[in-house]
Amino acid sequence: MNKKKINSSILDLKKGFSGNDLAIGLLNQLEKLAQELPDEVARKFSPQIDADFYLYSDGACRGNPGIGSWASIALNSKGETLFEACSLDDHTTNNKMELTGALKAMELILDYAKDEGIRDFSAALYTDSKYVSEGMNSWRHNWKKRGWKKSDGGAVQNLELWKSLDEVSQKFSSLEFHWVKGHNNHPQNERCDELCNEVLDRSSY
């Protein structure tokens, strides 16, 4: 059971023991102990490459187009969570949310590094979207050579997001994009998916 589920269970118990000072006192102590548990995302952290920061992103859409959300997570080289971020878009597409999740992860880690006085750092970004990983690793280079046009001369979809990703990526001393299979028990990818769905679920209340 992870920290989030433990805290949720404690909260439920507090409601059940409302008015029982002894029980509430014991639950408060248990809650403090739970805060000292290692973060579940960090505990399962096992990067395959060396980097200063590890970024994870995801996007979701209910209806395509429809209401959507994105999520981003950053870990340092010790596996400690630096931030979790997510947000809602009232009318979007799945691809736009996947791109936005990656872009926000990059922008937020740059802000973090600036605040911490960190310069010349490397990062690895993991996504379950081949649209994002292949786009950043391959397609965008050819699009740029053709003046941001596809091989048939047609327009690149989501062009402004791609241009933003390209521009922001150049602010890193080293940035790699990696694809991971979605819904395959990858802890950070699963957490991003969870954050996306939490945002969408809240929007329906």
Q: How far apart are the first and last CA of the chain?
A: 27
Query: Does residue 65 have a cis peptide bond before it, meaning omega lies within 30 degrees of 0?
Result: yes
Tell me if 55 sits within 8 A of 77, measured CB to CB.
no
Side chain identity at 94, as an amino acid letter? Answer: N
Please give the positions annotated as active site: 58-59, 98, 128, 183, 193
Tell me if 47 sits within 8 A of 78, measured CB to CB.
no
Tens-digit pLDDT profile for the chain (205 aa)? 455 566 667 677 877 787 888 887 787 877 777 666 555 555 566 677 899 999 999 999 999 999 999 999 999 999 999 999 999 999 999 999 999 999 999 999 999 999 999 999 999 999 999 999 999 999 999 999 999 999 999 999 999 999 999 999 999 999 999 999 999 889 999 999 999 999 999 987 6
Q: d(Cα 199, Cα 55) in Å, to the nearest integer?
A: 20
Q: What fold characterizes domain 41-203?
A: Nucleotidyltransferase; domain 5 (3.30.420)
Predicted pLDDT at 110: 98
Best CA proximity match to 99, nearest among 171, 56, 158: 158
Predicted pLDDT at 140: 97
The CA distances from residue 17 to 3, 5, 22, 31, 34, in Å, are 21, 18, 9, 15, 19
Domain boundaries, the chain: 3-37, 41-203
The CA distances from residue 93 to 16, 84, 116, 127, 180, in Å, are 42, 22, 34, 16, 21
Residues with Cβ within 8 Å of residue 118, at least 6 apart in sequence: 52, 112
Predicted pLDDT at 188: 95
